[in-house]
Structure 1
Amino acid sequence: MLADDPAPPLWKLVDSGLADEIVPELPALRLEQDPIHRHKDVLAHTIAVVAKTRPDITLRLATLFHDVGKPRTRSYERGTVTFHHHEAVGARMTRKRLAALHYPESVVNDVSELVRLSGRFKGYAGGWSDAAVRRYAREAGPLLGYLNELVRADCTTRNRRKAADLQHHVDDLEARIARLAEQERRAAERPLLDGHAVMARYGVGPGPEVGRALAFLLELRRTEPELDAPATEARLDTWWARNQS
């Protein structure tokens, strides 16, 4: 799995029959026709995807298993082949197989989660709201980098325009995630009450005591960001009472 070019050893694993004993989900993909890649079966697509990734065991396993749920979810609707919810089914299959192969629990958890999330990017080209972008990043959590690498590798089309479009969309998504994260960081640096609110609350004018109150509010925002406005006001009232001479 960590070879510079994993494709030859993976094909050897399948063609020799060893995969039927070690990871039978892999040769099962040879029978599945992917409607998005009509010229190749899902096995060929899967190995091509693995070969596009850097030699990292989590990433390689995630790409190897990202479509294993397709055989169990294949159906025909109005003459079209569909694989509804194959990511969720594949995640369960991945967890079971990797555990049987005695991979560390952390690897099993990360890879199965990446398989579950592998289809989340679909639809981004149609336009996502900021809330949808935040949800994607939140669901991926510490696996966000891996997930985006998987999405990039999953494009094996020979159509250069389509391939370039996908890379552009992932670039755009990553830029939006970074921009939204920076906005949230900056928002967290602002207290919930400003100087005018402090002065109005306590009937005072500009002065050092207001500055100290704002410093307290900023520290409160940094250390307890979950506090809402009423809770913040209550904490400020307590602080104010204690710090008046």
Structure 2
Amino acid sequence: MTDSLSAARMERRTRLLAAAAITLRELSDVLTPLAQRFAEHGHELYLVGGTVRDAVLGRLGNDLDFTTDARPEVIQQVLADWAQAIWTTGIEFGTVSGVKDGNTVEITTYRSDQYDRVSRNPKVTFGDTLDGDLIRRDFRVNAMAVRVNPDGTQEFCDPLGGIDDLLAGVIDTPAAPEDSFYDDPLRMLRGIRFVSQLGFGLSDRTVAAITAMSGEIERITVERIQLELDKLICGEHPREAIDLLVQTGLADRIMPEIPAMKLTIDEHHQHKDVYQHSLTVLEQAIDLETDGPDPVLRWAALLHDIGKPATRRHEGAGGVSFHHHEVVGAKLVRKRMRALKYSKAMVDDVAQLVFLHLRFHGYGEGKWTDSAVRRYVTDAGPLLDRLHKLVRADCTTRNRRRARKLQETYDDLERRIAALQAAEDLSRVRPDLDGNAIMELLNIPAGPQVGAAWRYLKELRLDSGPLSRDEAETALLQWWAQR
């Protein structure tokens, strides 16, 4: 059995490497001339890291990473009249980048960095060998290289066994994980991010090291953490990655509201806890995406119930309630995402979806008035399509009849929204009189009174739908007289 498994793995290895070679040969118009230029300067050139990994996995994009024994000033000379554009923002770290025929190339001198283990910023030291450069990298699946020769041939280089990890679907470090993570704690989060992106698992020793060292992540800036979290949430397997964040304790350090949900049993007792429910909602929201990963929708799905731990109340007969958890949850979202330096637009959108996600449940048997439907659409604004998806994803009951009823009820709400949108422009619900008309009719100057009148007309518009000018003026004059 062992021999047959070994033979099967060797066959798969051969097949993957052959496919990668074909993929890279398709880039020979870029790779070969570049290798020739480095050879003319007396230097070697290797594709490296994620580029090689993705080529083997059949998911290579247009970003090509290289390493070389040439120093940065030589790299700059080589690229100067070859690339269509170059930039040197990373030159102090040995990196020069450029664009050629739609491909972004990033070429870095061999490195053998030293870390102070206080920050994550190394003291940059250039190396002289490929092996020395590869062993300093974060994970073995990212420590493979392909030598690009000036005659167009290519040689696969894997001194650390990255291909074996790739075949096994394992993320592991070249050296001891403790050493790697003390050097750069962001690697702990990067490893979990790769779980989401690649569908791989972490090795046991990597999980143990992250668990023991999770506090080291506090050496990392929140901006870098935010970037990794967004890549993680937008991966193909975010549920597994979120679980690892919680399991290892990293979530307690960077987004403690997520593990806090493990303490809360949901009121329907349909899931182990609110945490598991939220992971299911995340997966179901992903299934509803139509234009690729949507980080706003995904974060809202994961965080929609983070207000439950703070609002949990035990009721009679063993029940539990979470009144106004959507209000508390929206506040918690704003606090956490601001702390992680997310953009104002991102914070506002995710918080608003969390705030609105329960509104539909007041729809009951479709007894909302047209006014309530208008307010639902107006409050959602440009987030309406995402709100539709979030509400549908939030149905995780195992009771098929109840699930079908919920979906049918939401179908009815969407039909009513469509009917109202056909009759009136719900995307721009505004008063039937503008500020100038209000001032002229009431004979008042610009100021707070105009704002109050405008808001009255906006509420009237939501309640009654479009009014003629005469109807709007009559209503405003009556309101003004009553004041």
TM-score range, shorter chain: 0.7 to 0.9
Match of 2:405 among 165, 175, 178: 165
Contact 1:37 1:157 in 2 (8 A): no
In the other structure, the counterpart of 1:128 is 368
Superposed displacement of residue 227, structure 1: 6.6
- Write 1 or 2 for the structure with the bigger share of helix: 1
**2:472, 2:377 → 1: CA distance?**
29
RMSD: 2.3
Larger radius of gyration: 2
Give the number of equivalent residue pairs: 196
Q: Name the CA shift for 1:37/1:151 in 2 (closer, same or farther; >3 Å).
A: farther
Distance in 1 between the 2:362 and 2:348 partners?
Answer: 26
**Residues 120-154 of structure 1: CA deviation (Å, up to 9, x unaligned):** 01132332222221121111111111111100000
Using structure 2 for the length normalisation, give the TM-score: 0.39
Contact 2:270 2:398 in 1 (8 A): no
User: Could you say if the C-alpha distance between residues 5 and 53 of structure 1 is closer, same or farther in structure 2, counting changes exceeding 3 Å?
Assistant: farther
The correspondence for 2:303, drawn from 65, 69, 85, is 65
Contact 2:270–2:397 (Cα < 8 Å) also in 1: no
Q: Against the structure 1 CA distance between its residues 35 and 17, is the aligned structure 2 distance closer, same or farther, given a 3 Å change threshold?
A: same
Letter of the structure 2 residue corresponding to residue 111 of structure 1: V
Q: Distance in 2 between matches of 1:107 and 1:17?
A: 25
| Equivalent of 1:108 in 341, 344, 347 | 347
1:74 matched residue in structure 2: 312
**How many Å separate the matches in 2 of 1:39 and 1:119?**
18
Task: Choose from 365, 379, 389 the match for 1:139.
Answer: 379
2:282 pairs, out of 38, 50, 62, with 50
Tell me the SS of whatever aligns to 1:89.
helix
Amino acid at match of 1:139: D
- The structure with higher relative contact order (CA 8 Å, sep 6+) is 1
In structure 1, what residue type is equivalent to 2:235?
A: A
**Residue 230 to residue 3, structure 1, CA distance change in 2 (3 Å):** closer
Partner SS, residue 320 of structure 2: strand
Give the conservation status (yes or no) of the 8 Å contact 1:94–1:112: yes
**Structure-2 residue corresponding to 1:201:** none
Contact 2:307 2:326 in 1 (8 A): yes
Name the TM-score, length of structure 1 as normaliser.
Answer: 0.74
Structure-1 residue corresponding to 2:470: 229
Query: The residue matched to 2:285 in structure 1 has which SS?
Result: coil
Moved over 4 A (4+): none
Letter in 1 for 2:336: R
Unaligned runs of 5+ in 1: 186-191, 193-224, 233-245
5+ long unaligned stretches in structure 2: 1-232, 287-292, 426-431, 433-465, 474-483
| Distance in 2 separating the partners of 1:226 and 1:124 | 26
Cα shift at 1:231:
8.1
Alpha-carbon distance between aligned partners in 1 of 2:346 and 2:415, rounded to the nearest angstrom: 28
Larger displacement relative to structure 2 (160-169 or 107-116): 160-169
- Counterpart in the other structure of 1:6: 238
Judged with a 3 Å threshold, the aligned counterparts in structure 2 of structure 1 residues 72 and 180 are, in CA distance, closer, same or farther, namely: same
- Structure with more strand by fraction: 2
